[in-house]
Amino acid sequence: MILYIGLDDTDSREGGCTTYLAYRLVDFLLSEGVEILDYPLLARLNPNIPWKTRGNGAVCIKVAVDDDMQDLKDGIVSIFKDNPHMNYGADPALLFYTGSTNKDIIHFAERALYDVLSNESALSIINKYGLEYYAYGSTQGIVGALASIGTSMYIDNADYTYEIIAYRLRENYGRPRMIDETSVIDMDRSTEPYTFNNYDYKHKRVLIAPHGPDPVLCGIRGEDPELLIKALRMLEIKEGMEGYMLFKSNQGTDAHLQHAIDANDLRAYTSGYIVGRVVDDPKVIKKGHTFFELEPLGSSNSIVCAVYEPTGLCSIAQRLRNDDILEVGGGVRDGKDIHQKVLNVEYIMVLKVAEKYIYMNPACTCGKRLKSEGKNKGYSCKHCGCSIVDASKVRVRVHRDIKEGLYLTDPKAHRHLTKPLRRYMLDKHRLRSRLDIEWFYRDSSSNKNGSKALRIDIRDRIKYS
Ligand SMILES: [Zn+2]
């Protein structure tokens, strides 16, 4: 039988705590000799929901079990309840599902990528199929936990990536992370394009390490588990590490932008894409933020698209003109007061550049442009002095300083789900995971109880100061 273990800890913005809880659970499962069927799945959900009580990072662990699994579940629940965030306003949730792939759960997970889902909608599925759950705080965590289970049911038929996440020693929590910046750049250069979002060269910023007090030391994202282990070993990390774990993930796949937004029913905080015609020339407000109106094909309700400066898309947006045909992806911002709902743009695909013309005075035989003498009074040339009465303006095609194609945001504006430039041409479908590599590591000295999961000691392979 397959047991799906779904987890969400919605207090954690970056999912750091959720993945650490998963790491601890996997450590326990391996030490119990449980067969783990795939990499734990880190599922990112609709990033355009502004409130943080609905986690956008949840984890599912898929294991093989027999009928007698009560002791195993008890062990999992006890580790889950040991979660240090339990009493600090978090909304953690744990879900167990045993059974075959379930269409309702998959559908729920697909909607969780672009829609706003209620606790009640999660509960109705949980009750219908008899899932066992533990939820605290607002119990909002059940939405993410259920969505992570559904995502793990279909991820092999979709595009996905991996992330290797390394965890800190407890005594270092809250201290600056000691990762040598040059080694991050070297790792990035020697693993591209098969890893992504390691380093922002424009702003000279390390992207693999968070800044908060969470247990995550760093996370490297990419296409291949073995390469990610190598990439981690390339880093010069000047602090100890509790261990690492590899996750499968929908990060970097644009999974939240695959749904066509209905312009006639624009709902706040949903994500997706729209194809339409630019209605008017763009308007630029302070700091370069740019707005334009798009009339969706087959609809007469135009919607306002907002392109903010940090996305790096403003200069392209400002070159758009009336009648250009675009596909834009993004999230719907709620309409405040009199302002209507707005689509916050996450990419622009220019499908057709409209031809633009201006009308100019005709040229003189001497080569200079003629000057108009006034309406119906003909033209004269200031250069050679000749005058032409019987002439009319000529139509000249304007050079459009924009090309058809896809325009993506700068790395600093990326969400977890944003598909980075490097991944175009690399997306994978229907690949099987290989679990025969050293995908889980825990330093035995960091755990007084010891762990049978320890396969290798990477301390001697990673440079420490
Ligand atoms: Zn002339």
Please write the tens of the pLDDT for every residue from 73-97.
999 999 998 876 655 567 889 999 9
Asked if omega into 193 is within 30° of 0 (cis), the reply is yes
Confidence of residue 53 (pLDDT cuts 50, 70, 90): very low
Contacts of residue 171, defined as CB under 8 A and 6 or more positions apart, other chains included, come to none
| Residue 2, beta-bridge partner list | 64
Residue 381 CA, distance from chain mean position: 60
What pTM does this model have?
0.85
Nearest CA-CA partner of 219 in 274, 271, 167, 288 = 167
DSSP E strands, 233-339: 241-249, 271-278, 283-284, 290-296, 303-307, 325-333
* pLDDT tops 70 at residue 408: yes
* pLDDT tops 50 at residue 464: no
pLDDT score for 460: 29
* pLDDT tops 90 at residue 413: no
User: In Å, what is the CA distance from 59 to each residue of 34, 40, 250?
Assistant: 18, 7, 11
Helices (H), 100-251: 103-111, 119-128, 141-154, 181-191, 225-234
Three-state SS for 349-406 is: EEEECCCCEEEECCECCCCCECEECCCCCCEECCCCCCEECCCCCEEEECCCCCCCEE
| Residue 294, beta-bridge partner list | 278, 303
32/15: higher pLDDT: 32
267 CA distance to ligand 1 centroid (A)? 61
pLDDT score for 428: 66
C-alpha to C-alpha distance for 404 and 355, rounded to whole angstroms = 12
- What would the pLDDT profile of 164-201 be if each residue is shown by its tens digit? 999 999 999 989 999 999 999 999 999 999 999 999 99
364 CA distance to ligand 1 centroid (A)? 5
**Which sign, positive or negative, has the C-alpha torsion 323, 329, 334, 336?**
negative
389 CA distance to ligand 1 centroid (A)? 13
396 CA distance to ligand 1 centroid (A)? 20
Confidence of residue 142 (pLDDT cuts 50, 70, 90): very high
- What would the pLDDT profile of 373-383 be if each residue is shown by its tens digit? 888 888 999 88
383 CA distance to ligand 1 centroid (A)? 5
Q: First CA to last CA across the chain, in angstroms?
A: 47
pLDDT score for 4: 98
Q: What integer best gives the mean pLDDT of the chain? A: 86
pLDDT score for 140: 84
30 CA distance to ligand 1 centroid (A)? 89
Q: Could you identify the residue written with the tokens 């070159």?
A: 319
Q: Inter-axis angle of helices 119-128 and 103-111, to 10 degrees?
A: 170
397 CA distance to ligand 1 centroid (A)? 23
459 CA distance to ligand 1 centroid (A)? 82
Q: Could you identify the residue written with the tokens 């504006």?
A: 413
- Beta-carbon count within 10 A of 231 CB: 23
Based on its alpha-carbon atoms, the radius of gyration of the chain, rounded to whole angstroms, reads: 28
381 CA distance to ligand 1 centroid (A)? 5
- What would the pLDDT profile of 220-256 be if each residue is shown by its tens digit? 999 999 999 999 999 999 999 999 999 999 999 999 9
